[in-house]
Each structure stands twice: as structure tokens, then as C-alpha cells.
Structure 1
Amino acid sequence: MNVILITACPSGMATTFLGARRLEQAAKRLGWQVSVEMHGELEAVTPVSAEAIAAAELVVVAAERVPEPQRFDGKRLFRAPIHQALPDPDAFLERAAREAATFDAASANAGAPATATPAPQAAGGNGQRRIVAVTACPTGVAHTFMAAEALAQAGKAMGHAIHVETQGSVGAQNALTADDIAAADVVVLACDIEVDDTRFAGKPIYRTSTGAALKQPKQTLETALVDAQVESSGAPQGGSAGAGGGARKSVKERGLYKHLLTGVSFMLPMVVAGGLCIALSFVFGIKAFEQEGTLAAALMQIGGGTAFKLMVPVLAGYIAYSIADRPGIAPGMIGGMLASTLGAGFIGGILAGFLAGYSASAVTRYVKLPASVESLKPILIIPLLASLFTGLVMIYVVGTPVAAILAGLTQFLNNMGSTNAVLLGLLLGAMMCFDMGGPVNKAAYTFGVGLLSTETYMPMAAIMAAGMVPPIAMGIATLLARGKFSQPEREAGKASFVLGLCFITEGAIPFAAKDPLRVIPLAMIGGAVTGALSMWFGIKLMAPHGGLFVLLIPNAVNMALLYLVAIAAGSLVTGVGYALLKRGESELPAVADAGSGAVAREQRTG
């Protein structure tokens, strides 16, 4: 029997590929002829051919929806979420064969919410569209600009007029004008953090992540032109943060993680500046800052005495800002300062940010005032009530237990034995290399940055060292096995190596997107080796960013030579391993004409 298998998971990461592989193997055990189509973020989608669809006797979709359903009109089709396929793929396929029904694409389209907003399509038929986009990532360095470039190139290749604004660490660049927005057919917000979207009111908006825009720019734009929806039509453009703002937020795809990343993105410059000032104070000696009136003491006061003390309030304030807009900033910062003074540290700051944000949002939405005093709400009522609630909860409920937890964690990290240190290094190193700037990577980095406020420096050293491994390793692989890489790949390898030295893990993304099943596991192994060695050596890092250039500051790293050894060891493990396992370019033509999905995927990943 000829079968088409289609897999997709909400995150577009490992489950998509694991599900496809397990279902394909199960189908072969049943004696079926299989074509596979995978929808993930790690590599571009290769749709099944029209010939394969025409010959298919069964279409199995392991996903939340049927992609491009019109192609399967009249075919026997079975759809179920991908998590149902993983435990027992054989039983899943047998069930598909039993329960499949003739697919009606018109009915599927009629019930799909994504097709309910045809405004972008109506704007210009199949001709040129005007697209405006904004990209923003938590650090505002790599993903922001790489995603912008990818979207701009894809838009131009598709024949559309596109203007991309970047909101990076230096502020907005290539900014969109009012005329640009007014003329746009669709707005693409590829943002991992909160950005001001009130200027796009009444426009069809499509939201995605910088990772998706970077890895699949063409598919992102194609989806945006179909799925973009007007979020705030008729919403007020000014005035209080009242009903208009609340309605606007209710349709946004926001969550706890995005609010946290918004806080981290605003906190990060504070941490970097403070950490580097502390590191500079060590140039004059580790204890030189203890002598009052010296430059070392001044640098320590700027970094440790001021910047690091503002770290937690800024984190909490901008988590609250992400949730409740400007009315959340004051109660968030007050809660964050209380977390610092109570000893609850960054964990308390995170909790304070969410408490302040949601309490300010609740006051905005549910406290109704006469029109004559409504203007007092954002400057008096919301800050007062939200600050009182957040402060009292922090003092009487949250502060003491969280401070005890943080003190215990700090004591454990400072006094742990070599075995526990190595295990923690393995975990943090693997996390940094799993998605290369994605949620898991950012979770590990946030953990390390937060510990800096407690003067715990070893995890940060392991995290930064491991984050440098994937891009450096890809550069090494392209140097060792030049014949296995095309000329563009070799050039990308050189750029990746330099980005790795700067602690920009995203430099390895082009390689991971093309060959995820080899690059990602090898990168995780190399990162784990580097993280474990860093922790085993007892290396401490005072600055949370900068890559190898931090080593130029005396005493910023306590054991610079061993730090280089740890980075080199992990990079060589991954780089040499990938050079050995990489399929050569000469092998690709041999499978270029093959019809099965399995062979086609080997071509893409090989």
C-alpha cells in the first residue's frame, strides 16, 4: 500500500523528526511504501510530490491540523496528534488504516479559523504584497539581525516588497514609518519578547519566533500571508491602559516564558555592564577594591554596588511591563527591590514581576471608576494597589521561604563536590547546545545570570564556554573535511567560527537546520564535555557575555588557560565527530532522483 506520512509538533523541534522516523519504520514493517513530509523548525519542508499524492492509498497526518489540505481532497485520510503516534507507532498506523475516511478539503477549510481572515490575500491576488516585519530576541544580538536578514532575502526572492525593523540591544534600526505601516498588506512580528504593537492596530498581524523566521523564512512569510489576523480593529489608539489595552492583550499569543524573556532582555545590559565593571576592578588585584578611594573601589561600586543591585528590580519591572504594559513597571520594580532586600534574589524577582504584572492587569481590567477620575487610574490607582499587593505578598508570604531556597541553592553550588559539579556542568552544557539560542538555551543562560547576583560564578563560566562550542566546532569541521562541504558551507564555517569566539551560539544554526540529526546530538555532547570540564576545574567567570574577548581583562576568569582547554576539548569533540559523520556532497546526486520520502530526507540531512 502506498502511504503518505506527515508529521508536525507544536514546537517544530525533535518530536517532529522522531515521530517521522518511528512511523516510517513501522510502515516498512507493515510492508507499506512510504513518502514522508516533516514540518519542523530545524530544516525546510520538502512537500510530497503530486505523483506521490496521486498514487497514495492512505494519508496519515500526525499533527494538530492538515497542512495545505486542498492537495488531499478525495483521499483516504487519518489525522491525530503526534503524541498519540510515539508510544506505539505500529498500532497507530493500524488504527489509521481502519479509521481513515475520505477527506473533504472544503469542509476542512470552512472549519479552520486560520482561513477566516482573507484580508492579506485580497490585497493583491497572487501579485506583489507589501510586508512589514519586526524582529526582536532577548539578547538583541544574533537572532534579531539574522532573522531580519533571512526574512528580507526570502521576501525579495518571493517578489514581495518587504521592510524589516530590528529591535536589538542598540534600539530600533531600519525603523518602520507610519507610511510603511499604512501601505502594508500584512505585519510579521518575529519576536521572542514584548514589543509595542499598538502602531499596527487594524492591520493583519502574524506572530512567530525569531527562530522560526530564521530557519524557515519563506514558509513564515507564506503562512503570514494566509493566516495573519486583525487583532485590534477599532481599538483606541491612546488614552488609558484600560479596555483597549486589555482587549488587545486577550488575543495575543503570550505566555509566562515570553514575559520572563522580556524581563531578561532588559536586565541583560545591566548584568553585562556590571559584570565587566567588576572584572575591571580585578585588574588591580582581587582584593584591591577593599581600599576606599581607589579606582578599583569605584569600579566595584559601579558594578557590584549599583548595577547588580538594580538587576533584580529591572528583571521584575519588565516582566510586569510585558504583562500589564507601563502600569506594571512601578509595582514590578518595587517588588524586585523587596526581593533583593529580603534575600530572595532573582527567584524572588521573577515571582515579584509576575505578581505585580497580573495584579496591575487585574486592577486595569476590573476596577471601574467614574469618567471624571478615570485619568487617575494609570498614575495613581494602579501603581498604588498593585504595589501594595505585591509588596505585602513579598514581605509576608513569598520573601522568607524563597530567600531560604536561594540560600540553600547558593550554599549547595558553592560547596558541592566534584561529582555534583561535573553533573551540573554536563546538564548546563548540553542545554546550551540543544536549541542554540532557543528556549532551553535561554533557560540555562538565565539560570547562570541569576546566580551572579549571589556571587556564584562557576555555572556562568560553564554556560558561556559550552555556548561557544557549536559554532566553533562547525568551523573546525569545515576545515577538517573540506571535501564534504560546499563552497557556501565552507564560507559559513569561517563565519561560524568567529561568531563562536564571540559567544554567539546561533552561528551554528545554518548547519543544524540542514543536518539536525547529526549536528544537534554532537553539539550537545561537545557542550556537555566543555561544561563538565569547566565545573571540574572550578573556573569562575565574572562577566556573563563577551566570549573569549573577556579573557583580555585580567582576573575576569580565574583560570584562563584551563578555560581555553575546556572550550577546545568540547569544540574538537563536536568538530571532529561531525567531520567524520558528515555525508559528502558527492553522495547527494546518487539519491537525487529517488521517489521515497526516506531517501529524500537522507538527501536533505546528508
Structure 2
Amino acid sequence: GRSVTQEEISGAKGVVIASDIDVDADRFAGKPLVNVPVAAGIREPAKLIQEALSSDTAVFMPKGGKATAEAGEKTETSSAGIGNKIYTSLMNGVSHMLPLVVAGGVLIAISFFWGIYSADPKNAQYNQFAAMLNAVGGAAMGLMVPVLAAYIGEAVAKRSGLIVGMAVGMIAYNGGNGSGFLGAIVGGYMAGLVILLLQKAFAFMPDREFRGLKAIFLYPVLGVFIAGSIMFLINTPMKAMNLGLMAWLKGLESSSPIILGIVVGVMCAADFGGPINKAAYLTGTALLAQGNYFFMAGVSAACIAPPLATTISVLLNPKAYNRDERSAGYVNALLGSTHITEGAIPFAAKNPLMNIPAFMVGSAIAAVLTYMSRIQVPAPHGGFIVLPLVNKPFLWVAWILVGAAASGVLLAMIAGRSARKRGVKTGVVEAALATEAADDDVAAAPIAVDDARNQPAPTTDDDQSFDPGEILNKE
């Protein structure tokens, strides 16, 4: 995808941001702006476009400007505003944590080429280079918990929240013996809240004279002391909760692989990189850090299957899709093979009530078969690139393809039925879609769509594509 250019923004009548993390919206100053989570962009794109074009939508201005509302969001005092802030703060932490998890996990997984015990000097499998890879990867994985807490805190209370969150996250990590990612989540919010309270407490001190004192001394010292002390007290009980959750999930792997696979499959295909998907992935990475490679195998299978399903669907029923949809389906073969699930979003958004359950079926099948076969994947990302690290690589690929095929068949049937409802009997779906788009009053003005996850609501016009930064300009 590409970013929206300044020229396109200047010509837009409104802006829709569909993002699960904080987006720098300053470049959209002076434009009516609607800011929603990605899930809303998938469910109701037409409604959001209408809202952006409405005269009632607030014009966005950066802080310090004369805005009627900030970033088009509901006020933080409303329950919806508070809920959205909690959600975006968590996603901010997760998005900064995941690259570390992927880098560390892949390096550790590569070290296993020399043997599972290749990093142990006392074992016959010991290899110095493998031990170095394992140590470097372990260091990156060790930053997972502190970085998660730090950037949750940063989303809540900016730089001071990041500093306190990092300190609290280190307590939660405690050399791998702390409360883990649950402690990091609680600690990150707590760090941000403590800083916000301190800012209110010292509001009587003018920023002009005391900004440096507050930012360098008062907030960090008092924030780390207060939040750190609380984290120190709750670390042990939260550790017990974290270990209990992990033990329960581990037990499901052997006692109820079918139930676990269905749950994981449904979660991974529910919102494609959104909070539900991230919850499953985050749990997999936490278990991976503890040496459990079974859970991540099912999560990866459930995430890889949806984009591959779109490829299969396009191949099975090409006349039910327009040119750009077919192209996107072909590209998804590559995206899915490398564990990039978001390529399925435009297809899910086209008919969410029907297509998302179809994706869930395939993901659940892939995850269930993976768990039943006791497949292990020691890398948190990479898709088929990390096949040499998988204990049963060909079987794993086979189960993923089975799940993808199940979803692909369902998607092809749904797409064909949708085309027939539009009166398309000759297979020329593009003509019907173009006619329908021409009658669409919603798209009467250009809208700048800026999606932080690079996935727009799909268009139905054959002249338009799934390009994430596309400016919709139908006149």
C-alpha cells in the first residue's frame, strides 16, 4: 500500500481513519474527520463515508487550534471515549512489542537447527554460533514485557508514561519470573494513570517555569516510586494468575485439542489483526517464550489459512469477482504464505456477515488438525518461510491448505450467490458492480482513507483497487 499524498488530502471533502493505534492526524487539519477502530471500518464503510461527508461532522484541528473536536473522536469523558482510549493504548503496546517478539523468536528458532539443546555448553549438541543466536534472541524476547508496558503507558500519558511503564514492565518481567504479559498490561495502564494523576496534582506549578523540573524530576521519580511500589506488591498474585492461565491453555492442547482449535480459529479469523486476533497471537507468543511450541502452531495455521482461502475462492469462481479482487486474491497467496493475515480484510469487508464466518470455519479446521497432530512451530512469524523449523512441516502445510480450501469453497459459493442476486448470469460481474457503484450516492465526493494497518474498506467499482491509500473520487 501507499500513504495518502498531501495533494489528495487537499482535494478531499472528508477523512476516515480506521486504525487500532494512535495515528498522527495533524496532516488532516481543517478536514471533517471520522476516527474509528479497524473493525468499524470493516463492518460499515459506507456509513463512515456518509458521516465524513455530513455537515455535522467536526472539523479536525491539531491541539492548540480552534477545533470543534479532536481527531473526530468522542470525548474522553464518555464511556465510548474511555473504552476506545483503553483499546488504542493496548494496541499501541502490542504493535511496538511484536517486532521484538518476531525478531527474538525467529533467532531462537534458527538456533535449533543445531539441536534443541545447542545453546547448552554441557550438552553434546552445543554449538557456539547457535548459543549466540539463542542469547541474542532471548535478549530480544526478554524486552517483550517491558516494551509492552512502556508503550501502553506512553499511549496514556506520553513520554513520562513510557518511562514509568518501562520501569514497571521490568518489575513485571523480573528475569522471566514475574507476572509476564498480564502484569505488563496492568502495569502499563497503571503507569499512565499515575502520571495523569501527578500532572493534575502539580497543575498549580506553571509549565513555563517548571516544565523541566516536572518532566525530568517530579514525574519520573514519583511515578516510578508509586507505580513501581504497587507493581512490586501485586507482582506475585498476578504471576500466579499468569501461570494458571498458561497451564490451563497447555492442558487444553492435550485434553481438548478440538475445542482449543475452534476457539483459536474463531479468534484469529474474527478481525484479522484486530484485538481478538492479537489476543490469540499474544497468548501464543507468551507460551512460546516459555518453551511451548504447540500453541503457536495452531495460531499460525489459523492466521495463514484466510488469505490463502481468498486465492482458492478466486481460482474456483473467478467470474464472481472483479479484476482488482482477482488480483488481490492472487497476491494473497504470497501474503498468506508469509503469515500476513490482513490481505483477507477486503474480502471480509465485502460481505462481513457471510464471509467472516466462512473464514472462521477454515481457520478452525486448520487449527484443530494442527493441535490433533501435535505439530510444533518454534517461530512466532514467517509462515512457510520457517518450515525447516517445524517438526512436521508437510503435514502442517497440508492441514493449512485443508482449512483454506474449506473457506475458499464457502467464499466462492457466497460470491457466486451475491453475483446472481445482482442479476449477473453471464459472469460479467464487473458490469453489474459498475452499475451499482454509479447509483451509489455515498461516493459522490473524494474521501481520504488513512488506515494505520494499510487496509481500506473495499470498493465495488472495477476501476478502483484495494490500494490502502486510495482516494475515492466518484463523481
Determine if the TM-score, normalized by the shorter chain, exceeds 0.5: yes
Partners of 2:167 and 2:346 lie apart in 1 by: 42
Correspondence for 1:499 among 320, 335, 347:
335
Q: Which residue in 1 is equivalent to 2:231?
A: 394
- The CA RMSD over aligned residues, in Å, is 3.2
Partner of 1:206: 34
Gapped regions of structure 2 (runs ≥ 5) = 67-74, 426-431, 433-439, 441-459, 461-475
Amino acid at match of 1:162: E
C-alpha separation in 2, matches of 1:422 and 1:327: 45
Q: Which residue of 2 aligns with 1:515?
A: 351
Does 2:168 match 1:335?
yes
Q: TM-score, normalised by structure 1?
A: 0.61
| SS class of match (2:109) | helix
Q: Is the 8 A contact 2:153 2:188 kept in 1?
A: yes
Partners of 2:114 and 2:127 within 8 A in 1? no
The match for 2:212 is: 375
Q: Are 1:223 and 2:56 counterparts?
A: no
Give the whole-Å Cα distance in 1 for the aligned partners of 2:315 and 2:187: 49
The reply to whether residue 326 of structure 1 matches residue 159 of structure 2 is yes
Deviation of the 1:282 alpha carbon: 0.9
- Structure 1, unmatched stretches of 5+, are 1-144, 153-159, 164-179, 237-247, 593-599
> What CA distance in whole angstroms lies between the structure 2 residues aligned with 1:417 and 1:544?
18
- SS state at 2:292 partner: coil
Residue 569 of structure 1 deviates from its aligned partner by: 1.6
**CA displacement 1:311-354 (0-9 Å, x = unmatched):** 10000000000000011111101111101115211111111101
Pairing partner for 1:282 from 112, 136, 160: 112
1:537 — aligned with what? 373
The answer on 1:162 being equivalent to 2:30 is no
Match of 1:426 in 2: 262
Deviation at 1:501, TM superposition (A): 1.4
1:565 aligns with 2:393: no
Maintained 8 Å contact 2:252/2:260: no
| CA positional deviation for 1:517 | 3.6
On the 8 A contact 1:201/1:233 being kept in 2, the answer is no
SS in 1 for 2:423: helix
Instruction: Report the identity percentage.
Output: 38
How many residue pairs match? The answer is 406
| Aligned 8 A contact 1:319 1:354 in 2 | yes
Seen in structure 2, the aligned counterparts of structure 1 residues 364 and 293 have a Cα distance that, compared at 3 Å, is farther
1:194 Cα deviation from its structure 2 partner: 2.1
Q: Which residue of 2 aligns with 1:411?
A: 247
Q: CA deviation at 1:580?
A: 4.2
Contact 1:410-1:454 within 8 A present in 2 as well? no
Q: Is 2:189 aligned against 1:354?
A: yes
Report the secondary structure of 2:8's partner residue: strand
Q: Name the aligned partner's letter for residue 300 of structure 1.
A: N
Select the structure of larger CA radius of gyration: 1
1:258 corresponds in structure 2 to 88
User: CA separation in 1, counterparts of 2:327 and 2:17?
Assistant: 30
Distance 1:513 1:412, change over 3 A: closer
Q: Secondary structure at the match of 1:288?
A: coil
TM-score (ref. length: structure 2): 0.76
> Would you say the 8 A contact 1:496–1:507 is kept in 2?
yes
Q: Is 2:314 aligned against 1:472?
A: no
Contact 1:425 1:459 in 2 (8 A): no
Preserved CA contact (<8 Å) 1:335 1:394: yes
What CA distance in whole angstroms lies between the structure 2 residues aligned with 1:293 and 1:524?
42
Moved more, 191-200 or 384-393: 191-200
